[in-house]
């Protein structure tokens, strides 16, 4: 059963002018063909601007006609999360690689302006998120791990061009992402925090592929090694109570340096990050292993099932007891 919510109150017609307005935040020379003056989409569509120049595009739409659109997209890294429906898009003539399953993730590293094309057939649906990181974002974040200031923008280009890599998102990330299509995404302080948390969840899960891309960019070797080692240790210990002193010793840095590196890599404190990781582990225990709610609460580090249920619903938009029935 799909985890994607249906929120009738958020569905609406989406016209060409709105699409062009959103496209202007991502590139230029947007063109759409085939709509014959009618709204080409219906459903939920938005582009949110987050701190640091990050853009979060989220769409759960039905294509109301056969159409094709094109644009020139600016340099940056796009983390694409496909939650359902067919998608036919190309960057510089290159399609997203085929992957099994309904949940697919892609990292598109755009190092110079390239042409983007999307084709769609009438009455098909798409549910997806795209997180666009500015062109020098990766260099700036990893520069914080190299103990040096990175005050001047760099182009971040080694040899120009474009790289597309696929990765497999977790069911827990997809469940958290699905919440962006619910009522919480209205313009409120809660919605802003939700989007920022979701963006960092997506970045955290994509770090292995992001670090592969960093090796091809102008990133200091020391920063790359520190980031790779920290991310590997975090993943190996994600389901255990965090001990900052032990983790800092294994990486070879002070506790204060570890906290600073954590914020650079994951956008939050180690304690908050690990709480969220344990909730992901609890989701997996419920969805994949059929664990009881009390067992899942223990996985997440909660002694009280009621407190666990509250935190779980805030992150995933569902009660823990509903997850096993949905998978």
* 196-245 pLDDT, tens digit each: 999 999 999 999 999 988 888 767 777 888 888 888 888 777 666 667 88
Rg (CA), the chain: 20
Tokens for 86?
Answer: 């067919």
Note the pLDDT of residue 8: 46
Evaluate if pTM is beyond 0.95.
Answer: no
Cα dist. 198→81, 170, 266 in Å?
12, 13, 11
CATH superfamily of 8-190: Jelly Rolls (2.60.120.10)
Tokens for 231?
Answer: 């991310």
The string of pLDDT tens digits covering residues 49-107 is 999 999 999 999 999 999 999 999 999 999 999 999 889 999 999 999 988 877 899 99
d(CA 40, CA 56): 21
Yes or no: say if 268 and 200 are a contact pair by the CB < 8 Å rule: yes
- 42 has a pLDDT exceeding 80: yes
CB atoms within 10 A of CB 39: 16
Residue reference for tokens 């070797």:
221
Note the pLDDT of residue 238: 67
- 160 has a pLDDT exceeding 80: no
Task: Classify residue 38 as exposed, middle or buried by CB count within 10 Å of its CB (0-12, 13-18, 19+).
Answer: exposed
Residues counted in the chain: 327
Yes or no: say if 286 and 299 are a contact pair by the CB < 8 Å rule: no
The string of pLDDT tens digits covering residues 273-320 is 888 988 998 998 998 888 999 999 999 989 999 999 999 998 988 899
Tokens for 288?
Answer: 């994949």
User: What CA dihedral angle connects 297, 301, 303 and 307, to 10 degrees?
Assistant: -70
Fold classification of 237-326 (topology level)? Arc Repressor Mutant, subunit A (1.10.10)
pLDDT range class, residue 23, cuts 50, 70, 90: very high
pLDDT range class, residue 145, cuts 50, 70, 90: confident
d(CA 171, CA 192): 23
Q: How far apart, in Å, do the first and last CA atoms of the chain sit?
A: 6
The string of pLDDT tens digits covering residues 170-183 is 999 999 998 888 76
d(CA 176, CA 313): 10
- 327 has a pLDDT exceeding 60: no
Residue reference for tokens 């003539």:
93
d(CA 166, CA 101): 12
Cα dist. 268→114, 198, 233 in Å?
33, 12, 17
Domains of the chain: which residue ranges?
Answer: 8-190, 237-326
Average pLDDT rounded to a whole number, residues 154-162: 51
Note the pLDDT of residue 123: 96
Note the pLDDT of residue 244: 82
- 151 has a pLDDT exceeding 50: no
d(CA 180, CA 191): 8
Average pLDDT rounded to a whole number, residues 123-151: 83
Note the pLDDT of residue 193: 85
Regarding predicted confidence, which is higher, 191 or 303? 303
């Amino acid at each position: 059963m799909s985890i994607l919510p249906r929120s009738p109150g958020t569905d609406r017609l989406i016209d060409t002018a709105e699409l062009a307005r959103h496209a202007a935040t991502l590139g230029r020379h947007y063109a759409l063909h085939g709509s014959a003056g009618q709204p080409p989409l219906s459903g939920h569509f938005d582009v949110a601007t987050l701190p640091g120049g990050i853009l979060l595009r989220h769409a759960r739409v039905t294509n109301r006609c056969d159409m094709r659109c094109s644009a020139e997209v600016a340099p940056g890294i796009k983390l694409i999360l496909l939650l359902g429906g067919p998608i036919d898009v190309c960057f510089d003539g290159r399609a997203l690689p085929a992957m099994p399953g309904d949940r697919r993730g892609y990292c598109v590293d755009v190092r110079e302006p390239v042409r983007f094309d999307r084709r769609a057939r009438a009455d098909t649906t798409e549910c997806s998120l795209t997180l666009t990181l500015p062109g020098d974002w990766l260099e700036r974040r990893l520069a914080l791990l190299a103990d040096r200031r990175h005050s001047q923008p760099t182009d971040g280009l080694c040899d120009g061009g474009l790289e597309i890599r696929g990765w497999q998102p977790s069911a827990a990330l997809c469940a958290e992402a699905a919440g962006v299509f619910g009522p919480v995404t209205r313009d409120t302080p809660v919605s802003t925090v939700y989007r920022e948390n979701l963006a960092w969840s997506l970045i955290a899960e994509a770090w292995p592929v992001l670090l592969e891309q960093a090796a091809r960019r102008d990133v200091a070797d020391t920063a790359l090694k520190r980031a790779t080692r920290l991310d590997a240790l975090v993943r190996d210990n994600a389901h255990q109570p965090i001990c900052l002193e032990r983790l800092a010793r294994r990486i070879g840095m002070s506790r204060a340096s570890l906290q600073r590196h954590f914020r650079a890599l994951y956008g939050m404190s180690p304690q908050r990050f690990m709480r969220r990781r344990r909730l992901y582990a609890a989701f997996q225990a419920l969805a994949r292993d059929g664990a009881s709610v009390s067992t899942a609460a223990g996985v997440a580090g909660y002694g009280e099932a009621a407190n666990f249920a509250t935190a779980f619903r805030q992150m995933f938009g569902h009660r823990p007891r509903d997850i096993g029935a949905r998978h």
